[in-house]
Structure 1
Amino acid sequence: MAIETELKLRVADQVDTDALLAPLLEDAAPKHLKNTYFDTPDGQLAGWRMGLRIREVNGEREQTLKLADNAGSALSARPEYNLPVSGDKPDLAAFPAEVWPEGTDLGALQQALAPVFATDFARRKTLVANGQVELCWDQGEICVGERCLPIRELELEMQGEDLKALFSIAEPLLVEGVQCFGLSKAARGNWLAKGQGAFDLSEPVPAISRAQSNDQVLQQALGAALGQWQQAEDAFLMQPGWQPLLALADALQYFRQVLSLFGGLVPRKASSELRQECQWLADQLAQAQAQVRLAKVLAGKSSAFKKLNISDELVELAQQRQQALPSLSSFTALLAGPRANKLKLAALKFATLKSWRERLDAGALAELDKPIKWFADTQLAKAFAELKRHLPKGMSLNDYVDQETRVIRYLTCCRTFAALYGEERALDGLEQWQDFLYGIEEAKRLDGVAQLAARLDLSEEDAEQLEGWLNRKRQSLVSAMDQSRQLGLNQPVYWP
């Protein structure tokens, strides 16, 4: 068994790869690699997050089994087994018995195996960074029958122990059109085979335990955020749309909230530049959120919105505003640009290398290395107490909107530490606070309508009608948010 640690970079068609890679690849000759990937008809191996293939190179065959990887970011680490094979089908019995989930009927699994998709590509590779990193440049395609996806990607795979070397090689490669990428060839092949369905945009919960230290949980939480970040970006790349961008904004927000949550243990100077760049990307993604709000305003014309005398004028203004905001293609360019990708690389470095520990004295290091439970209890209690203090009865809608950051911080604590208390128990009571945040989002949409209307020269009658409509909507929101607030604050405390 080997542990494959690699960073994947997708390369756009317009990138001059000869100029970019010539100094690294030099005279590396291409090899033709043909791979056939196998699974059961019901996708059992994919469900276990395993990849099984037979690779043919120069007439010789090798079977590879890759086990579940880490959180799904561009930097992945996963165990793999490479063994010789003679036939056209993998021999599962050749792999160690412990790799299979308990109770697996290996004979039935072997019998059910069938080809799912194939990859066919040319690879040029060389060792760089004094042999610490293997650089591979792959060009070809992934195919399921007549349906194919292109392969144009760089893989930087660790050969030594110095992970810093991988980042030092990767950073100068992040020119315009070279993008950190999380989807393996197997993941893309399975997606193509299953009919190119929607990607998972869920929010992963860090897999932590009470045996871990504050430092280890920080790394796990940042890893979960980076995995969600990369998954959302991959989904946008494969299926451009506004929902993946909103998921990306959520992932970035969680990453920043985790940095804030552990801010008393990590020197702020160590993350200041990273936090500034995160703010820049958050500001860019706010334009996608504005697009979605405007889309809801326009959709409102088919319901209560159409009752307004000025509905047509508001729709026209909303459409003009939409056209002035960045389009999906603008975000495609943004996410393929050097600044966005160097930010992601910096976030990966911060989470994995943890060079900031070098700035800490013995006392601060000792705090980081303490068991997580006391820190988690304290942060949860503090965040919940802040909600109780700042969310009394009788608040206005604007007052509720002002408490958004406190609600998000509490949700961050709940998500980050959920596994310590029983994930289902810890997350069960969060629906009310999610509803509360939905109310805040609706309040922002209504404010957007009011801002659009402010650009119109309204008659007294139209102004009165608009104000009445807005007030009814706002009061309805306040009532719903009052109920969510009360239910949320009445939830039983599950930490000591």
Structure 2
Amino acid sequence: MAKARIALRLRQVDGQVLQTVKTAGQGGGGLSQREEWEWPVAGPQLDLASIAKLPPFQGELRHVLDALAPQLSTDFTRRSWQLKTGGQGQESQIELVLDEGEIISGGYRTPIREAELELKGGEPEALWELALTLAEQVPLRPSDSSKASRGNALSAQHWPLPEAHSPAEWLHRATLALDAYHDSQQASFLSAARQALSTLAEHPELDDTARSYAQALSGGLDKDGQPNTVYGKAALALAHRLAYQTALR
């Protein structure tokens, strides 16, 4: 399942246990689309019969269900807000959640401090607008690593970085390197992130607007790899522009 980038989770919320299956996100720069199924179960045991009916388990993965065993745990407090944006006829519903706690995996621990936006209804553009509004007020940075992928890497003490060629791939590499640095505290990952951002800023495929965003990223991290508000705004604006350009091709 890890190789297929599928995560299976049991989560207890206010006394109720929910079972969730998530596929890997498609995207980069902290923005992604993915398939997700969630339903209540009777207790802290897997509902294997229902899992087997889902599309990801119609092939070879159907045969691994009986061998499933816990790999990691997360303990965090979630606060959520249901938001509406836009006027009549163009209203969008967005869920904003704030998670604070820790991941525990393979005898290692790392903190969780995440804000996540999920489009419940309406136009995807509303997500960009709200994310930019938040980034203007709070120093944030996008992340491309789920809690499950962070826990698996933590247990293995292994954070592979992908090869990069296009601007979107260099942004993705930089984002993953920052994720790896903050979970591993290995200085080599912060260096890799800065190198990726530097390469991105000089990439010949960037137009002038995208290049200005990329150049802002290089100066938007402090010595500890923490972002300022310039970094968050530039990262989101650049990811938005790259996604738009990709959609036009």
TM-score range, shorter chain: 0.7 to 0.9
Q: Deviation of residue 252 (structure 1)?
A: 5.3
Identity %: 30
Question: Where in structure 2 are the equivalents of 1:109-258 lying within 5 Å?
Answer: 109-130=64-85, 131-144=92-105, 147-174=108-135, 175=137, 177-194=139-156, 197-204=157-164, 221-238=166-183, 239-250=185-196, 253-254=199-200, 257=203
1:341 paired residue number: 232
CA distance in 2, matches of 1:224, 1:150: 26
Verify the 8 A CA contact 1:237 1:332 in the aligned structure 2. Answer: no
CA distance in 1, matches of 2:45, 2:188: 41
Deviations 1:389-442 (A, max 9, x none): xxxxxxxxxxxxxxxxxxxxxxxxxxxxxxxxxxxxxxxxxxxxxxxxxxxxxx
TM-score where L is the length of structure 2: 0.81
Alignment of 1:98 onto 2:34? no
2:205 paired residue number: 259
Task: Tell me which amino acid in the other structure corresponds to 1:57.
Answer: V
Alignment of 1:331 onto 2:215? no
Q: Which of 40, 45, 60 lines up with 1:89 in the alignment?
A: 45
Q: Deviation of residue 339 (structure 1)?
A: 1.3
Q: Secondary structure, in 3 states, of the residue corresponding to 2:59?
A: coil
Deviations 1:453-484 (A, max 9, x none): xxxxxxxxxxxxxxxxxxxxxxxxxxxxxxxx
CA distance in 1, matches of 2:231, 2:186: 17
Task: Tell me which amino acid in the other structure corresponds to 2:115.
Answer: L
Question: Where in structure 2 are the equivalents of 1:312-323 lying within 5 Å?
Answer: none
Residues 1:279 and 1:88: Cα distance change in structure 2 (over 3 Å): closer
Q: Deviation of residue 182 (structure 1)?
A: 2.2
CA distance in 2, matches of 1:176, 1:86: 40
Residues 1:81 and 1:203: Cα distance change in structure 2 (over 3 Å): same
TM-score where L is the length of structure 1: 0.43
Instruction: Compare the two structures and name the one with the higher strand fraction.
Output: 2
Verify the 8 A CA contact 1:85 1:91 in the aligned structure 2. Answer: yes
Q: Secondary structure, in 3 states, of the residue corresponding to 1:122?
A: strand
Q: Deviation of residue 51 (structure 1)?
A: 0.7
1:23 paired residue number: none
Verify the 8 A CA contact 1:143 1:189 in the aligned structure 2. Answer: yes
Verify the 8 A CA contact 1:225 1:255 in the aligned structure 2. Answer: no
**Structure 1 spans left out of the alignment, 5+ residues:** 1-44, 206-220, 261-270, 286-328, 358-367, 370-496
CA distance in 2, matches of 1:188, 1:229: 16
Q: Secondary structure, in 3 states, of the residue corresponding to 1:93?
A: helix
CA distance in 1, matches of 2:111, 2:217: 28
Deviations 1:280-311 (A, max 9, x none): 445x59xxxxxxxxxxxxxxxxxxxxxxxxxx
Question: Where in structure 2 are the equivalents of 1:374-385 lying within 5 Å?
Answer: none
Q: Deviation of residue 166 (structure 1)?
A: 1.3
Instruction: Provide the alpha-carbon RMSD of the alignment.
Output: 3.0
Q: Deviation of residue 342 (structure 1)?
A: 1.3
**Structure 2 spans left out of the alignment, 5+ residues:** 86-91
Q: Secondary structure, in 3 states, of the residue corresponding to 2:34?
A: strand
1:278 paired residue number: 214
CA distance in 1, matches of 2:162, 2:106: 30
Residues 1:276 and 1:177: Cα distance change in structure 2 (over 3 Å): closer
Comparing 247-256 with 185-194, greater Cα deviation is found at: 247-256
Deviations 1:218-246 (A, max 9, x none): xxx55433322211221232234145423
CA distance in 1, matches of 2:188, 2:60: 42
CA distance in 1, matches of 2:201, 2:56: 32
Name segments (4+ residues, structure 1) moved above 6 Å.
Answer: none
Q: Deviation of residue 248 (structure 1)?
A: 4.4
Deviations 1:169-193 (A, max 9, x none): 2223224543222222112222233
Residues 1:161 and 1:331: Cα distance change in structure 2 (over 3 Å): farther
Task: Tell me which amino acid in the other structure corresponds to 2:214.
Answer: C
CA distance in 1, matches of 2:229, 2:42: 45
Verify the 8 A CA contact 1:129 1:165 in the aligned structure 2. Answer: no
Q: Secondary structure, in 3 states, of the residue corresponding to 1:259?
A: coil
